Structure 1
Amino acid sequence: MSALHMRHQHLTGVTVITLSGEIDLASTPKLHAFIGQARQTPADHLVFDMAEVTFMDSSGLRVLLDAFTLAQRHGGAVHLTALQGPPARLIEITKVGEHLRVHTSTDIALATILAAPDLPAATGNGTVAPPSG
């Protein structure tokens, strides 16, 4: 079993959270608390760098969806980057990628956010909702 390691970085309107190890029932309470402490405002876009996550179970998925719900409520979004192996498969089979933004790298996620800081949330069909107004 590989312990979960977490670190964060702040950019304007964005919190990047880099994770490594396993996200499971034992580590999700710490992850949930870490997200709450790391996020500067509820409207921040959250970018989770998942390149070094080797395992994630449904409790980890729940934490990401909770972060998504809070971000969406306040105009932000959640982005997952560099998914691979079992975590990528979990996102695929649960279709969570239709709600959370998935990118091949953190740099691409940040470029997407900087290009459109008022990025609307993903819709249930894998597309982006048009801006309201």
Structure 2
Amino acid sequence: MRLTHRYLPGASIITIDGEVDITTSRELENYIDLVRRSLDDQLIIDATRLSFLDSSGLAVLLAAAVLAQARGVAVHLAGLQPRVARILEITGAMPAIRAYDHVEQALAAVECTGGVPFTEPV
């Protein structure tokens, strides 16, 4: 698994490349805690290259979602692969995590909820 991040005003974007399972879920949890600038930031997960998610990885995402909701923000998953989306569907996790086809859609949704307009730095 490879994790990268970037910041936009009011949002932290984390890209997951690879698999999140029992051997890597703790790394994801630590990474989310480390790179999130503020608990009041929206958290956008670019899951375009997330090829597998097991129950331990799902628990990390749900814990992040609960914490975000307590602060009035959300966790947004973008670019879910069918296999990962199916796990979220069959476990009933979809209502807790907002899902979008593309990162741009997640960014637009965050802007519509009153976030700062996102413009990429040049």
TM-score by length of 2: 0.90
- Using the alignment, how far apart are the partners of 1:112 and 1:51 within structure 2? 18
Percent of residue pairs bearing the same amino acid type = 37
Q: Is the 8 A contact 1:8 1:17 kept in 2?
A: yes
Q: Does 1:15 align with 2:12?
A: yes
Give the root-mean-square deviation of aligned CA atoms.
1.0
Q: 2:66: which partner in 1?
A: 69
**Any idea what SS the aligned residue of 1:53 has?**
strand
Given candidates 85, 89, 95, the residue that maps to 1:88 is 85
In the TM superposition, structure 1's runs of 4+ consecutive aligned residues that sit over 3 Å from their partners are none
Unaligned runs of 5+ in 1: 119-133
Q: How many residues are treated as equivalent by the alignment?
A: 115
Tell me which residue corresponds to 2:46.
Answer: 49
- What CA distance in whole angstroms lies between the structure 2 residues aligned with 1:98 and 1:67? 14
Distance 2:26 2:9 in 1: 27
In 1, the alpha carbon distance for the partners of 2:114 and 2:36 equals 16
Match of 2:14, SS state, is strand
Aligned AA for 1:49? D
- Per the alignment, residue 106 of structure 2 pairs with 109
Structure 2: distance between partners of 1:99 and 1:53 = 19
SS in 2 for 1:107: helix
TM-score relative to the length of structure 1: 0.83
User: Does 1 or 2 have the higher relative contact order (CA < 8 Å, sep 6+)?
Assistant: 2
Structure 2 runs not aligned, ≥5 long: 116-122
Q: Distance in 1 between matches of 2:94 and 2:65?
A: 11
Shift of 1:37: 0.8
Q: Which amino acid aligns with 1:41?
A: S
Q: Deviations over 1:13-66 (max 9, x none)?
A: 101100010000000111001000110111111010101011110000000011
